[in-house]
Structure 1
Amino acid sequence: MSKKLTGNGLWESSRMLLPQHKEQSLLKEREMPRQSVMPPSAKEIEMIRESVVLPMVLEIVLKKVKEVEKSDQTLKHLYSAAAKVLAKHIRQDIQHCRRSLMDHQIRIQGCIKEHSEIVYTYSCKGAEGRMTITRDYLREDIGFKIGKYAKSLIAIIQQEGKQRGN
């Protein structure tokens, strides 16, 4: 219970709590053994980081789609279609990442953008924490991820080409 709500009567009055029920609830709270809060594992930290970075990757890819579609490049339809396929794969990964966060009882609560870094607060199975990501790291990781998605798309296209060639 928050310090602001206990002892000032607001919580009690808004809940229509009988004194007997309040005492019973406080007794249960005292009797419950305190669970030791474990810090997030390396896998959970990676999931948090992915859930933060992937939406940024998607935003950049979609921005590039718009830029290509407005350009006068000869192969703009091909580039735009390829970028849209990348965006589709990124969206799928974002959904998978969000499901994994929910399965592991992880919530990302907030974001504070500072000069050269972004600070995210999260809760993981009762443990509260902060994750700081620098803009330089983000730039590098986003470039790496876009490259990874592009390579996987190229591999699919090459595999399709080999199958049609035979």
Structure 2
Amino acid sequence: MVFTHDTTAALAAAVDLVNSAVDPDTLTELAQVDAFFAKHGYTGARARDADDLAAVRAVRAPLRRMLTADRDTAARLVNDVLAAHRAVPQLVRHDGLDYHLHVLHPDTPLVDRIAAETAMAMVDVIRADEMSRLAVCAAESCEGMVLDLSRNRSRRFCSTTCGNRLAVAAYRARRK
């Protein structure tokens, strides 16, 4: 299943944000929010203060619940987020991107835009019955999220580090 660009981008951003809470926490400074904002192509206004950092950090747990829920629960969570933010999808073009959805006004706080855009991406995932594209890392000691957009659904680890760690452990076990 190939999702649209904005769906893929929102899912990747949500997984990246959720994974920033996995030990060690990689979202403790405003500069890290700035880097997240730039990496994932968010646009619009930002407060760029301690409250902004705290709000973005706080949304990680609710996003994790949405991304790891069963299909029915995820649908309920998506509906709750979209209703709470009074999301009104709009087709927009900017920064060389063709038409894609923005669901909140650009002046809306960043954390609200993250939540609503993730919810809109989950609409596509739920409707396509592709919840298996989102999973928890297969490494026993990791709680990271995996977004598997591979054709054969073979991605099991949140990072190369987790995959390599398991491969090295298996190699060492075979060598004994």
Q: Which has the higher contact order (CA 8 A, sep 6+)?
A: 2
Question: Between Structure 1 and Structure 2, which shows a larger proportion of helix residues?
Answer: 1
Question: Between Structure 1 and Structure 2, which shows a larger proportion of strand residues?
Answer: 1
State the TM-score, normalized to the length of structure 1.
Answer: 0.31
